[in-house]
Structure 1
Amino acid sequence: MRGVTFLAIGIGVALACGKASAASDWEKTVTRTERGVFPNPRPMRATYQFGWNDVAAATAEISFGKSGGHLQLIGTGQTTGVVRALWRFDVQHRATADAATLRPLLMNQVDELRSKTVTTDLVFNAGGVVRTRTDTKTKKPPTPKAFNFPGLLDLHSALLLLRSQPLTDGTVHRLVVYPATNGYLATITVAGHESVKVGAGTYNAIKLNLQLSKINKKRQLEPHEKFRQASAWISDDADRLLLRIEARVFVGTVFADMQSVQFTSER
């Protein structure tokens, strides 16, 4: 759940490319996507269950709201049951985006493991992002690292930008995302419209197929070592909620499933 927790399990899981690609080749294919006409999400709280090969493994709660000209996502999550006995993991995630442009501003994530706590901070600007990462086992001061790519997105802003689009069948978006520690080329294809059943109910949904390739230090694309392929479903209605994600990884299939949603009043 680390860098791809919550929204991330959705946008950040994918089908890797077969070999490294020259930087000049893939960069020309990136979609220069501006925000669409679909309105911003309503303030709400939602809960999700995560699992691995049909075994419940974790839960998460996400709240979404607006403060001034900013959209803010706050999430907490933790492993549960047998999985927690093997791997204790708790996470707090906060992401902020511009309400008008849907571009990312800030991201803070705190990962609490059994042996250490890791804190990741991302500060976005017009040219890319600056990352600072610390952990309780390291005594050295953190070294900020920059990743430059105009129009760069985090997972929160990538989902906001996608849901604002028409999302007609067959549409392809190629976006550069930076979830926590690396840049990735995410290819999202609108696979179709269908019904999907989740813990929160049955919805008419838009199915998205997801591909992910790592951008290395030479700005070439590399296969992802762990992720194979993924699909996500968002509700085909006025709210466009993230309903479910299924991803094939090196150890099997992982999923995230919305269990409940409650809309809250504007502040």
Structure 2
Amino acid sequence: MSSKLGFVLAFLSGCAVSAFAQTYETPSWVDNVTRAAPGGYANLRPVKLGYTLSWNNRLNAGNFLISVIDPKDRSGQFIGDASGRSSGFARILWPYDFRARSIIDKQSLRPVVFQLREKDRKATNSYDIIFERDRQVYTTTARKKNEKALTATSGFDFDFGQDILSSAFYLRSHSLGNDEKISMVVTPFNCPYLTELKVMGRESRRIKGKVYDTIRLDVRVGKINTDLSIKTYDRIKQTSLWVSDDEYRLPLELQSQISVGFVSARLTDLEWLD
């Protein structure tokens, strides 16, 4: 999910295959990536979730929907769809729309294919990611207004990659005991990001007038550069994620502290689809 999806910053930058193919000294974060099998919360009930994006919980900036289904004609796979748009005053400044689809293997909770289409005032971009056993292959098509579309293929060699939705599936499957750490390589577009989460504890939290029992996690995200170093973002002071402390482990709120307040994505609608 970028700030556009309520989860990571959006960057349109190609990661050349040749660059990632070079030999670099293996950094410590590679060995720290969580590769354990999915935990005891792997089963997922079909659901549709609606979220509102806001600044300081006062100014609504957008909304998005996520649905997860377990289609009978695709045995062994989950299908997740997402769509969203900026709204209100934010849309005047920054019109933005997106649609995304993820196909996820049920047993491993690893992605098979991820597709994203996004449109803003200046351009329309599409990203198609194929997750192979030890490699991710990205096809990026960028079309600026009144210009021809440009398509490029790039990739990243890594044995345990995730997309935005599969990373949420994998995270929620674990026990999430206090102080537990989960580290993942997540690719929301055409470059991978190191996402590190730590369980900070249990707490009650009021979200849109409803009180939930939650698990709070600290979230740290950094872009993986071509030399495998990590680029961090100083403007983001702290990011926290709250998920429901029950058998469903639904994402309830994501909040990032910045220099002028905070931006958040909060659950507003829930519909079970079974």
Amino acid at match of 1:26: W
Q: What are the equivalent positions in structure 2 for 1:18-167 lying under 5 Å apart?
A: 23-54=26-57, 55-67=59-71, 68-137=75-144, 139=148, 141-167=150-176
Q: 1:23–1:220: 8 Å Cα contact kept in structure 2?
A: no
Q: 2:143–2:150: 8 Å Cα contact kept in structure 1?
A: no
TM-score by length of 1: 0.88
State the identity %: 28
Q: 2:139–2:190: 8 Å Cα contact kept in structure 1?
A: no
Q: Which residue of 1 aligns with 2:194?
A: 185
- Partner Cα distance (2:4, 2:133) in 1: 25
- Partner Cα distance (1:124, 1:198) in 2: 35
> Which deviates further from its counterpart, 214-223 or 233-242?
214-223
* 112 and 251 in structure 1: CA distance in 2 versus 1, 3 angstrom threshold: farther
SS of 2:100's equivalent in the other structure is: strand
With a CA cutoff of 8 Å and minimum separation of 6, indicate the structure with the bigger relative contact order.
Answer: 1
Q: 1:155 deviation in Å?
A: 1.5
SS of 2:162's equivalent in the other structure is: coil
1:92-111 CA distance string (max 9 Å, x none): 11111101110011111111
- Partner Cα distance (1:72, 1:200) in 2: 31
Q: Which residue of 2 aligns with 1:176?
A: 185
Structure 1: tracts of 5 or more residues without a match = 14-20
Q: Which residue of 2 aligns with 1:240?
A: 249
* 208 and 226 in structure 1: CA distance in 2 versus 1, 3 angstrom threshold: same
Q: 1:84 deviation in Å?
A: 0.8
* 96 and 5 in structure 1: CA distance in 2 versus 1, 3 angstrom threshold: farther
SS of 1:227's equivalent in the other structure is: coil
* 101 and 27 in structure 1: CA distance in 2 versus 1, 3 angstrom threshold: same
* 27 and 236 in structure 1: CA distance in 2 versus 1, 3 angstrom threshold: same
Amino acid at match of 1:133: T
- Partner Cα distance (1:187, 1:245) in 2: 14
- Partner Cα distance (2:195, 2:130) in 1: 20
Q: 2:42–2:170: 8 Å Cα contact kept in structure 1?
A: no
1:264 equivalent to 2:259? Answer no
Amino acid at match of 2:207: V
> Which deviates further from its counterpart, 163-172 or 197-206?
197-206
* 23 and 120 in structure 1: CA distance in 2 versus 1, 3 angstrom threshold: same
The size of the alignment, in residue pairs, is 254
Q: 2:193–2:223: 8 Å Cα contact kept in structure 1?
A: yes
- Partner Cα distance (1:4, 1:115) in 2: 18
TM-score by length of 2: 0.86
- Partner Cα distance (2:234, 2:136) in 1: 24
Q: Which residue of 2 aligns with 1:18?
A: none
Q: 1:204 deviation in Å?
A: 0.6
Instruction: Calculate the aligned-residue CA RMSD, in Å.
Output: 2.0
* 253 and 63 in structure 1: CA distance in 2 versus 1, 3 angstrom threshold: same
SS of 2:42's equivalent in the other structure is: coil
- Partner Cα distance (1:66, 1:223) in 2: 36
* 131 and 254 in structure 1: CA distance in 2 versus 1, 3 angstrom threshold: same
